[in-house]
Amino acid sequence: MEGAVLNADGFNAYFGSNQILKDIRLEIRKNQVWAIMGPSGCGKTTFIRCINRMHELTPGARVGGSLTLDGEDIYAMNPVMLRRKVGMVFQRPNPFPTMSIYENVIAGYTLNNIRLTRSKKDEVVESSLKRAALWYEVRSALHQKGTFLSGGQQQRLCIARALAMNPEILLLDEPTSALDPMSTAKVEELLHELKTQYTILIVTHNMQQAARVSDKTAFFFLGEMIEQNDTKTIFTNPKNEKTQNYITGHFG
């Protein structure tokens, strides 16, 4: 659809004969923050793994229907090129353990054999760490291992690593579930700053977090997208009884 950065239209995903996502229809516009919310096993993570084509790395996985980025079929794109446009941050901080902070940030270039001059590398590292609100904490320790950082710092390092490739979309899968409240607050604050430059999808089971960070919310249940709307409306005036039950804690 016109104006949509990401558009799912009748999108389905399977593991073998088991259908995980059923007829997902979702239009995501530039610089929006979407929370993908729902109980465990409802297809939230599968959906974002389909967006950067990690779903298909699992044996027996397949998809159907339409999923487009800037009007182009995601499944017709070169996966390497796609993943440059679609950054991903996982549930647990996962800096590459053998790499320094500096090497972690530019890992996307190194792993894809994209050559940069030393000055360009320095520039990418500094700007990415600044965008991830980590530069002033680590600038004197760039050549130490990323794993020596705290959990919250490691997660912001992973965000810097994703931002270094200048993606259009940033996918975050439960990015604060392994973090303490103070680190969680820093990541959430960071998301508010990043939305001016990126379109963000965050999978979360934390309803308070969804309410704090997102403009729009989609509620998934048993592989179906039950409801989508402005986040405030979803929380204060949901249209569907299943959404209402989830928000009020009657299931999930």
pLDDT of the chain along its 252 residues, tens only? Answer: 456 899 999 999 999 999 999 999 999 999 999 999 999 889 999 999 999 999 998 999 999 999 999 999 999 999 989 999 999 999 889 999 999 999 999 999 998 889 999 999 999 999 999 999 999 999 999 999 999 999 999 999 999 999 999 999 999 999 999 899 999 999 999 999 999 999 999 999 889 999 999 999 999 999 999 999 999 999 999 999 999 999 998 764
Give alpha helix (H) positions in 67-180.
79-85, 101-105, 107-111, 118-131, 135-138, 151-163
Q: How many residues does the structure list for the chain?
A: 252
C-alpha to C-alpha distance for 138 and 19, rounded to whole angstroms: 44
pLDDT at 250: 78
How many CA atoms within 13 Å lie on the side-chain side of 129?
24
Report the pLDDT value the prediction gives residue 249, as an integer from 0 to 100.
86
What domains appear along the chain, each with residue ranges and CATH number?
Answer: 4-247 (3.40.50.300)
Distance CA 129, CA 152 (A): 14
Q: Tell me what pLDDT residue 205 has.
A: 85
